[in-house]
């Protein structure tokens, strides 16, 4: 806004333009237009430099209202405030002008002090707003950058661990995928039939994902041992066993953003997945329930997958045979409860294994040659295929670890699916049928946000398939949190008018919104007096109006300033002037109720809005206490006698818009000054005098 120091004066009368140029030329660069068409050309050419426009309503050709409409259509009114120039007393088009976006009104003949003060106030207000927007943008970008860096760090950790698993052991890619699926099936059964372990769906999901890291310690084991084609010696076996210790040590150096419990799951899995129920496992010889239930599940999954896979030291067993060997204790002792779970999930394991074999062209006997990773000396094309599968697996894991919440709507079946994180946050089922009939978006959203979402949703098309917006959603605890919604429309490629559904993503931005709200609060507060400033007063006034939307709540709008403040400031110094403003503002604040609006409007001007108050007699008595005050400041030994002039307008009697009421209270304020200062004047009395 520092570059916006140009004021455009639009008036078909040259002497009016000359008058305004004389009033504002010392503080601003003034450019002129004699008609609406010339004005629009200047606005387009000087848009980035314009601080304000003074626009005559009555001009030949394109008039002031038409210029306003064009500016609104082009989005210019969001950045450039407009003052409407009207003849005194001609108010018939004011309602339309305010509706189109006029900021304020100045009347001809011009009153120099009024014009200059209003222009300065509005230019300062917009400069403050632009600065606030800049700060909020910078803070938001900074916060998003920090979150992005955190996610990138997590991604790097997962990719590093995945790479260590997938490339150190020739058969790891298939191995880890099966271990995860078997672990999930076993823990889901434990969750359902063994409630004493206290597992829930989120834990099952986290543990299953972490199970892929169980052999991460093999990164420290030599390749020659991992791929030895023959029986290991006792010393070599001890080296292999050490991968559990190495894995545990590696995990201790990783910070898990999901919490300490996830860190504990991963550590236990990496270190203890070779422990056995009878205490004959390694490395710590844990026994019975000393072994966490999630580790017991990973241990069985690891053994089962090793049995049904080809290894350099053995051929694969039939799946049925592998399950029998585990149940009969041929692979070590396991918890009887989890063995019961294995019996229950065995049919599903066999079906999934059969489906994998058929899909990959595998032979009978569970050997699945298509799923066994080739030796390192095989053709590069096979290695490329394995790497492709690795990338698929890696990105699937990353999607599951993402902080975003995903949902997908299928229009063909009228069904909605939600990601695990979505279900956890909102405590809803992962799948809903007959969604359009069931869903409760109008009830979940604030009305204005629901209307905005529906409007954006209806506007989606092949050309514009995606929408974004911020909205507040209810959480299970009754609170509401801010989320950023991204929704992408899915269309039939053969018929672009046919909707197949949509994919959406929710990201929690409550922290970002909270910080932005704090910056907004600071921006709406006067730094010197700690009262709200002009922008803050406007916001609070609109809130009062919303509170009384069902019926007009009477309000008293009082505009005041300190008489001869410039003389006091020049005589005693700026520091004394600041103290006078602080003491005066403190006296004003102390005289009114907490829910009344008290604002330092700028300079020595103050605004008071009294709620549920429209009685002139009471108002005269209340405000009269501010017309004469004794103020003590450090620079003077004796109290200063300070007077104040006050103007009053009533809502809704004198007006219903904030700027209109402020303008009328300002007129009453100047009547107080012309009448001798140190008094209260009412706008209604001025209109009565003019009528008489």
Tens of pLDDT along 545-564? 877 665 668 899 999 999 99
Predicted structure pTM score: 0.36
pLDDT at position 370: 32
Query: What number of other Cβ atoms are within 10 A of residue 83's Cβ?
Result: 21
Strands 555-562 and 597-602: unpaired
Q: Span 398-408, mean pLDDT? A: 68
Q: Are 474 and 480 in contact (CB under 8 A)?
A: yes
Q: Span 367-379, mean pLDDT? A: 35
Integer distance in angstroms from the first to the last C-alpha of the chain?
Answer: 46
Tens of pLDDT along 58-98? 888 888 899 999 998 888 888 899 999 888 877 778 888 88
- Closest by alpha carbon to 218, among 210, 226, 229, 227? 226
For residue 10, the SS3 value is strand
pLDDT at position 385: 47
DSSP state of 169: S
Q: Span 158-177, mean pLDDT? A: 52
Tens of pLDDT along 473-526? 888 888 888 899 999 998 877 777 888 888 888 988 887 777 766 777 777 888
- Closest by alpha carbon to 512, among 142, 118, 173, 43? 142
Q: With 80 as the cut, is the pLDDT of residue 285 above it?
A: yes
State whether the Cα torsion 119-125-131-134 is positive or negative.
Answer: negative
State whether the Cα torsion 627-633-635-636 is positive or negative.
Answer: positive
Q: Span 392-406, mean pLDDT? A: 58
User: Could you tell me the two tokens for 151?
Assistant: 């996610």
Q: Are 657 and 663 in contact (CB under 8 A)?
A: no
Q: Whole-angstrom Cα distance, residue 503 to residue 168?
A: 37
Residues facing residue 649 across a β-bridge: 557
Residues facing residue 6 across a β-bridge: 29, 50
What's the gap between Cα 86 and its chain centre? 43
User: Could you tell me the two tokens for 572?
Assistant: 């005693």
Tens of pLDDT along 327-366? 999 989 999 999 999 998 888 877 765 555 444 444 333 3
Query: What number of other Cβ atoms are within 10 A of residue 226's Cβ?
Result: 17
**Cis link prior to 602 (omega < 30° from 0)?**
no
162-195 in b/e form (b: 16+ CB < 10 A) is: bebbbebbbbbbbbbbbbbbbbbbbbbbbbeebe
User: Could you tell me the two tokens for 174?
Assistant: 């298939």
Q: Rank 85-94, 224-233, 366-375, 379-388 by mean pLDDT and report only the highest.
A: 85-94
Q: Whole-angstrom Cα distance, residue 492 to residue 501?
A: 10
DSSP secondary structure of 34-59: SSHHHHHHHHHHHGGGEEEEEEES--
Query: What number of other Cβ atoms are within 10 A of residue 524's Cβ?
Result: 19
Q: Whole-angstrom Cα distance, residue 295 to residue 277?
A: 11
């Amino acid at each position: 806004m520092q570059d916006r120091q140009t004021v455009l004066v639009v008036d078909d009368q040259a002497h009016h333009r000359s008058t305004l140029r004389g009033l504002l030329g010392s503080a601003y660069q003034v450019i002129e237009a004699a008609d609406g068409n010339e004005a629009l050309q200047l606005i387009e050419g000087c848009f980035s430099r314009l601080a304000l426009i003074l626009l005559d309503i009555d001009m030949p050709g394109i008039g002031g209202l038409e210029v306003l409409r064009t500016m609104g259509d082009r989005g210019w009114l969001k950045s450039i405030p407009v003052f409407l120039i009207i003849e005194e007393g001609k108010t018939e088009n004011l309602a339309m002008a305010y509706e189109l976006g006029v900021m304020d009104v100045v009347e001809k003949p011009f009153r120099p002090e009024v014009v200059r003060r209003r222009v300065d106030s509005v230019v300062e207000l917009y400069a403050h707003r632009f600065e606030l927007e800049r700060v909020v943008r910078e803070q938001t970008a900074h916060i998003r950058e920090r979150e992005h860096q955190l996610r990138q760090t997590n991604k790097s950790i997962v990719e590093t661990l995945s790479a260590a698993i997938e490339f150190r052991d020739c058969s790891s890619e298939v191995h880890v995928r099966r271990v995860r699926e078997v672990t999930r099936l076993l823990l889901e059964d434990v969750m359902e039939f063994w409630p004493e372990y206290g597992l829930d769906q989120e834990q099952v999901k986290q543990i299953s994902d972490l199970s892929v890291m169980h052999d991460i310690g093999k990164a420290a084991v030599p390749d020659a041992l991992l791929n030895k084609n023959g029986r290991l010696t006792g010393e070599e076996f001890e080296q292999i066993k050490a991968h559990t210790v190495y894995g545990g040590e590696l995990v201790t150096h990783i910070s898990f953003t999901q919490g300490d419990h996830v860190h504990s799951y991963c550590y236990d899995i990496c270190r203890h997945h070779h422990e056995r129920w009878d205490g004959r496992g390694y490395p710590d010889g844990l026994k019975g329930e000393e072994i966490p239930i999630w580790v017991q599940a990973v241990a069985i999954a690891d053994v089962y997958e090793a049995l049904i896979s080809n290894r350099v030291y053995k051929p694969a067993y039939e799946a049925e045979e592998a399950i029998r060997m585990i149940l009969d204790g041929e692979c070590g002792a396991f918890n009887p409860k989890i063995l019961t779970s294995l019996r229950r999930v065995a049919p599903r394991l066999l079906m999934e294994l059969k489906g994998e074999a058929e899909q990959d062209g595998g032979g009978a006997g569970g050997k699945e040659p298509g799923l066994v990773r080739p030796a390192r000396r095989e053709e590069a094309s096979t290695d490329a295929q394995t790497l492709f599968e690795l990338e698929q697996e890696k990105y699937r894991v990353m999607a599951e670890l993402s902080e975003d919440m995903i949902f997908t709507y299928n229009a063909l079946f009228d069904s909605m699916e939600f990601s695990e994180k979505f279900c956890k946050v909102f405590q809803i089922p992962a799948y809903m049928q007959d969604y359009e009939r069931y869903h409760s978006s109008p009830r979940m959203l604030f009305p204005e946000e629901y209307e905005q979402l529906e409007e954006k949703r209806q506007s989606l098309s092949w050309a514009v398939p995606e929408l974004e917006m911020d909205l507040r959603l209810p959480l299970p605890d009754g609170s509401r949190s801010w989320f950023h919604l991204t929704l992408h429309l899915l269309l039939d490629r053969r018929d672009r008018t046919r909707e197949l559904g949509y994919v959406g993503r929710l990201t929690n931005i409550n922290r970002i919104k909270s910080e932005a709200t704090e910056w907004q609060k600071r921006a709406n507060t006067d730094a010197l007096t700690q009262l709200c400033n002009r922008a803050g007063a406007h916001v609070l006034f609109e809130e009062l109006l919303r509170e009384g939307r069902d019926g007009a709540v009477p309000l008293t709008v009082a505009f005041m300033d300190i008489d001869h403040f410039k003389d006091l400031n020049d005589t005693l110094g700026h520091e004394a002037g600041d103290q006078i403003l602080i003491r005066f503002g403190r006296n004003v604040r102390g005289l009114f109720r907490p829910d009344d609006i008290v604002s330092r409007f700028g300079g020595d001007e103050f605004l008071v809005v009294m709620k549920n108050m429209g009685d002139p007699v009471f108002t005269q008595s209340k405000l009269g206490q501010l017309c004469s005050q004794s103020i003590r400041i450090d620079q003077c030994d004796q109290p200063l006698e300070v007077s104040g002039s006050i103007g009053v307008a009533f809502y809704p009697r004198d007006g219903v818009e904030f700027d209109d009421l402020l303008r009328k209270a300002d007129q009453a304020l100047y009547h107080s000054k012309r009448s001798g200062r140190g008094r209260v004047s009412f706008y209604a009395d001025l209109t009565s005098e003019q009528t008489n």
